[in-house]
């Protein structure tokens, strides 16, 4: 994809999605971190159903660090992989209190050292909570990037590196949410709505499902 086509693609997405932001409900970086950990292999809708009560009971890292795993599990039981997520959440909050004075670290290295936090979650935090121009690649972004030809890769890291290289600087901060929302509602996995797609003229998709 040429630089001009990439620029046009993001210009059109920016018009179609004027407020690109996460759909995970949160009031602060701590709540976002817990929500993103819960969102692995789960929908944002399902996470948003359980977090209000969870955050009311445990509003900060200090209170969540002292909770029993069973207590956290009782709030998130409907979420996929709930037992392991509950354990990771308690351990992560313990580290936040012990090593970071209850604050969310703002470097990739410190974030991925937290239990349950991988590269994708760390990049989400850096981008959404702290305004860094990084791109977290989930299944939606992986699909859109390969379909359009924006960043072709066989794994998420290859796609991430391609996006960081190919996305115009002006759009790099918002690229994560522009691509994820486009993939979630238009460029769907099974039945992409190509006839309604604002970037169909920039897309290289050719009757194949990524």
Q: For residues 29-61, b (16+ Cβ closer than 10 Å) or e, as one string? A: bbbbbbbbbbbbebebeebbebbeebbeebeeb
Q: Is 91 left (phi over 0), alpha (psi -120 to 50) or beta?
A: alpha
How far, CA to CA in Å, does 202 sit from each of 42, 149, 177? Answer: 31, 9, 19
State both tokens at 19: 């407020």
| Residue 196 DSSP label | G
Quote the CA–CA distance of 157 and 123 in Å, as a whole number: 12
Whether 60 is a known active-site residue: answer no
Whether 99 is a known active-site residue: answer no
Could you say which of 138, 161, 165, 191 is catalytic?
138
Quote the CA–CA distance of 88 and 69 in Å, as a whole number: 9
Quote the CA–CA distance of 142 and 158 in Å, as a whole number: 10
Could you say which of 12, 120, 172, 174 is catalytic?
120
What residues are labeled active site?
A: 120, 138
């Amino acid at each position: 994809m040429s630089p001009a086509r990439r620029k046009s693609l993001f210009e059109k997405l920016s018009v179609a999605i004027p407020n690109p932001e996460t759909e995970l409900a949160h009031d602060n970086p701590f709540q976002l971190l817990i929500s993103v950990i819960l969102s692995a292999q789960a929908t944002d809708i399902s996470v948003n159903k359980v977090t209000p009560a969870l955050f009311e009971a445990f509003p900060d890292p200090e209170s969540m660090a002292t909770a029993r795993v069973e207590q956290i599990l009782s709030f998130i039981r409907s979420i996929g992989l709930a037992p392991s997520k509950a354990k990771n959440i308690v351990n992560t909050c313990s580290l936040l209190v012990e090593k970071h004075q209850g604050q969310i670290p703002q470097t990739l290295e410190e974030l991925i050292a937290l239990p349950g936090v991988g590269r994708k979650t760390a990049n989400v935090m850096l981008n959404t909570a702290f305004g860094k121009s990084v791109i977290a690649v989930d299944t939606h972004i992986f699909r859109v990037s390969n379909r359009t030809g924006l960043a072709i890769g066989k794994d998420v890291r290859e796609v991430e590196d391609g996006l960081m290289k190919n996305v115009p600087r002006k759009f790099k901060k918002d690229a994560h949410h522009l691509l994820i929302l486009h993939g979630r509602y238009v460029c769907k996995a099974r039945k992409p709505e190509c006839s309604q797609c604002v970037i169909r003229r920039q897309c290289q998709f050719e009757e194949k499902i990524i």
